[in-house]
Amino acid sequence: MLKKVMAVVLIVLAAGAWLYLDHLNKQEQILAEQARQEMIQARAEAVARAAARAKFEAELTEAFNSCKADADMAKDAFLTENRKPVRRKPGEFTIPEEIVAQADDILVEAYAECQQVHDTHYAQGY
């Protein structure tokens, strides 16, 4: 009889241990699923931040290139305004060296200003 009682007690203890381990396993699975969901969300946020950063940098580069193109057009306009007609050659023009040097200086200053604006916006993030 004692053997039967001991067998029942051992079976009950084994079943209880098995149920407890099953409960712990289910908790581990829930925690693992939560960690997986958090990882998926963090990955999506990182992709969104990277896309926003790429868009920001593309817009900034476009603005910088546009500024440089405007500076080039301003230089060309300055040179066109200051050209002198060549004597005895209708339709031909010459540009004095000091005007070309001045135009180059204006272009360098404009490029520097474009670069400064670009760097400022890049550092500020907008």
Count of beta carbons in the 10 Å neighbourhood of residue 114 = 19
* Helix (H/G/I), strand (E/B), else coil: 84: strand
Give the pLDDT band (50/70/90) at residue 92: confident
Can you give the pLDDT at residue 83? Answer: 82
| Mean pLDDT within 22-38 | 97
Can you give the pLDDT at residue 126? Answer: 60
Can you give the pLDDT at residue 62? Answer: 96
What's the pLDDT tens digit per position in 33-65? 999 999 999 999 999 999 999 999 999 999 999
> What average pLDDT does the chain have?
92
User: What residues does each domain of the chain span?
Assistant: 2-124
Angle at 79 between CA 78 and CA 84, to 5 degrees: 125
Q: Which of 112, 126, 125 is nearest to 67 (CA)?
A: 112
How far does Cα 24 stand from its chain's mean position? 43
Per-residue pLDDT at 95 exceeds 90: no
Q: Say if residues 109 and 71 touch (Cβ distance below 8 Å).
A: no
